[in-house]
Amino acid sequence: MTTETSVARRVFLQRLLAGSAAAGVFMVYRQPVVAALGDADEAQRAADHDYAFVVDVGRCIGCGQCVRACSIENEVPEGQYRTWIERYVVTPEGVHVDSPRGGMYGFDEVDAELASEALNSFFLPKLCNHCAQAPCVQVCPVGATYRSPEGFVLVDPEHCIGCSYCVQACPYGVRFINSEKRIADKCTWCYHRVSQGQLPACVTVCPTQARMFGDLNDPDSQVARVIREDNWDVLKPEAHTESMCLYLGLPRVVV
């Protein structure tokens, strides 16, 4: 009786030790194991896409269709813009830049004096660059802004506290605090459309194909071709944001 008990105790202690070690190992490696079991398909599908946006400056006619479509598609409050068009007029005296109401309703001609002095003039559409190294993502204190596996920089509306750190951090000025929702807002490359196989609203309505959107993993896409031809620029390369918005024919005066 006594012998049996002491043997049972030793076995019990051995099992306890082995069990604790196993539990410890599982607790440490739990998340990768669970992730590997559950999200493998999802992660794989997401990684199949690597989206990029191309703006051909030489094709933009400044009609404002993209800005209007964006506002309708995303219910952007009046006076705020997820995308906008800038007009550059380069003269010997300096560079004039304007964007009346974001270029939403097009542009009236510049005054005759300025037009006569113009050495070069063009329209420049701007939007979120969906940077691979996005400063806005780095500064968000609550993890409400992030870069999805497919390359969309997004805002989690449930999580954003509207502190506007990201608005200040963005080198391109694409973020704003939505005046109705009181949270950070920005271009999403129409994530909801792209996930259903549609193009972003601005790309859909652009009459001159100045805006292009596609998957870099698809060698036949326009954006992949642009990358291959290697004649593109990004805005503020010195910021090392790894912008995924590529500009064709970007004049040097653009800052």
Partner 1 sequence: MSVSPRAHIYRLVVLLGIGAAGFAAIRNLAIPESWDDENFYRVDSLQELKLQPLRFGGNTACAGSGCHQDQRVAEHREHFTALTRGKHGGLACETCHGPLARHVSGGRRVTPALINRENTLCLGCHAPLVSRPEGFPQFSAENTGHWYFDVEITTPCRDCHDPHEPRQMAAPRQRHVLEEHAGTVAMEPSHTLGEVMQ
254 binds partner 1 (CB under 8 A): no
Shortest separation between residue 57's beta carbon and partner 1, angstroms: 9
5 binds partner 1 (CB under 8 A): no
Contact call for residues 88 and 230 (beta carbons, < 8 A): no
207 binds partner 1 (CB under 8 A): yes
Q: Which amino acid is at 48?
A: D
Can you tell me which of 59, 101, 181, 236 binds partner 1, judged by CB under 8 A?
59
Which of these segments, 2-10, 18-26, 55-63, 222-230, binds partner 1 (CB under 8 A)?
Answer: 55-63
Residue closer to partner 1 (CB basis): 15 or 182? 182
101 binds partner 1 (CB under 8 A): no
DSSP calls for 51-91: EEEEEEGGG-----HHHHHHHHHHTPPTT--SSEEEEEEE-
Can you tell me which of 100, 143, 219, 237 binds partner 1, judged by CB under 8 A?
143
Shortest separation between residue 128's beta carbon and partner 1, angstroms: 14
Shortest separation between residue 114's beta carbon and partner 1, angstroms: 8
Contact call for residues 121 and 88 (beta carbons, < 8 A): yes
At residue 44, what are phi and psi to the nearest 5 degrees?
A: -65, -45
Residue closer to partner 1 (CB basis): 111 or 238? 111
**CB within 8 Å of 20: residues ≥ 6 apart:** none
Can you tell me which of 95, 97, 118, 227 binds partner 1, judged by CB under 8 A?
118
Q: Is 24 helix (H, G, I), strand (E, B) or coil?
A: helix
Q: Is 124 helix (H, G, I), strand (E, B) or coil?
A: strand
Tell which phi-psi region holds residue 215, choosing left (phi > 0), alpha (psi between -120 and 50) or beta.
beta
Shortest separation between residue 88's beta carbon and partner 1, angstroms: 8
3-state helix, strand, coil in the chain (%, to 5): 40, 20, 45
Q: Taking CB under 8 A as the criterion, which residues in 210-249 touch partner 1?
A: none
Note the residues at the interface with partner 1 (CB under 8 A).
31, 39, 58-65, 69, 72-74, 87-89, 106-107, 109-110, 115, 118, 121-123, 143-148, 154, 156-159, 188, 191-193, 195-196, 198-199, 201, 204-209
